[in-house]
Chain A
């Protein structure tokens, strides 16, 4: 009987623990988003009366071929950034986990790109990637008899990889830090044991280290996805979504509709679609990774 009481008390304490943050999240995040959803079925312009127009906004959006492009682009950018930041971030973390004399200062330098406001970073990258006078093209030209002009941001074919590259550069820091933290949790005895068993370095990494840092991988892929799928400031500041709309991500499209047109409800419909995409990706990914974590731990 006493035990039951204790359990009940624990349950209530738990409710008490999650209640405050739930209320805040509901009021200031979910409620506005639910309202957005509601308005997306109307022709509300942000002022005055509105009427319900059913799925008209959604039909218009899907008739727009460039929206489909933006949708695919956003998913592509999200996945690429998640992949690249993790590979490079983990590499840096493994290297900086070594007994290097300069590791503290190197960690700080690697984190700095994340500290700089993205708009400023984009501004500086323009000096490097400029077609005519950029540092990168000048640098590559020194290896060649004629001057090399790579249209880093001036051709629809190059601009997406360029943006993925800059965004990765920008996100390495946090990803590396999380990996460094996760690596501290890997028990050295296990590695020693594997060493004694004669496991090669690669095998030790794959069989011992990697499963132990699985929660870190999950977090980091989510960081990558979150930044990739919501990416806005970087392409907006770097190219304004161009050239020819090649770097116009979903977030930029929503911004255009919601703020640069009077058809607010149209932007809200686009936003709802993005919410759904983000939801599907997050839930799918986390349920998969949790299954993996459970298997290896």
Chain B
């Protein structure tokens, strides 16, 4: 996770270059235009934030008005109690952790083999994984549950994680293989000459170069799992394993009536961990990606 001095230097160089290159754009007016655009873009998010601090009635009658803050954090507190949030966090985090860790390790390994090994089987594997990316799974739930029950994985955190791995890793493999292809093979050849095992070579040389892409994938797939409704609904028993998304959707009541204050309070609770993860991983998204430049 720490870039060595070479990449730091490249990074410094890059910024210097860039500063020269973009001098003409470094006007504050340009930045202000960008900020205005982004703010317009985030009006729905603004609506969510202001409605977190209103009563049900106020949200219903005047969803666009500013809150008077009379409810304070009451909505969030109430949603906290109703959603069984501690257990939900734990369950959803466990699923995400198992699925993400295995997904990242297994699909990067597979992508490496696909790109670097010669043999028909690897080429075929690439196309098979690729065709799995867009598979619609809804109609396959019932056969899927039969399979899970066969392995005694129904209503089990490990079972649902395996399903997530199966659904999400084809895309990871695709993305990883694209980026591994851009890594010059010379780096590995030296290691092979020294008699380094392929597994060690992968984890010591290749995987660190994939940091930014890994961060991107973790963010994307974490959000997918965190917000997913259908899989936990059909695979897990909600009283044994409540998940965050199902807890939130419970506020949508019959005939489209919604406990609005609870819903908006709940959104805050759902968003908090995801935004934290995003902020934490954000620096890895860009930094160190200078490593990609070795391609040229």
Contacts and interface: CB of A to CB of B under 8 A. Distances in A.
Direct A–B touching, Cβ under 8 Å: yes
Given A99-B18, A108-B282, A279-B131, A14 B275 contact: no
Interface residues of B, number: 105
Contact of A127 (B64, B271, B282): B64
B290 interface: yes
B226 to A, nearest CB: 8
A160 B84 CA distance: 38
B-side interface mostly: helix
B93 interface: no
B127 interface: yes
Contacts of B296: 185-187, 189-190, 212
A192 B21 CA distance: 8
Contacts of A283: 127, 130-131
A126 to B, nearest CB: 9
B138 A128 contact: no
A180 B285 contact: yes
A259 B45 CA distance: 32
B279 A108 contact: yes
B42 A222 contact: no
A111 B278 contact: yes
B119 A11 contact: yes
B2 interface: no
Nearest to A273: B136
A184 B127 contact: no
A18 B113 contact: yes
Interface stretch (A62-70, A141-149, A263-271): A263-271
B285 to A, nearest CB: 6
Contacts of B275: 108, 112, 115
A98 B22 contact: yes
Contacts of B76: none
A185 B42 contact: no
Contacts of A79: none
Contacts of A35: 140, 143, 146
Nearest to B122: A14
Interface stretch (A23-31, A48-56, A151-159): A23-31
Which A-B residue pairs are the 3 nearest by beta carbons?
A185-B292, A271-B139, A278-B134
Given A17-B110, A270-B139, A279-B134, 17 more contacts: A13-B197, A28-B148, A29-B167, A31-B143, A100-B34, A104-B282, A106-B38, A112-B42, A112-B275, A113-B44, A124-B47, A135-B43, A181-B292, A185-B289, A230-B134, A232-B138, A282-B131
Interface of B: 13-15, 17-19, 21-22, 25-26, 31, 34-35, 38-39, 41-45, 47-48, 63-64, 106-107, 109-110, 112-114, 116-117, 119, 121-122, 125, 127, 129-144, 146-148, 162-163, 165-167, 169-171, 173-175, 178-179, 181-182, 197-199, 212-213, 216, 219-220, 223, 227, 229, 245, 248-249, 252, 258, 263, 267, 270-271, 274-275, 278-279, 282, 285-286, 289-290, 292-293, 295-296
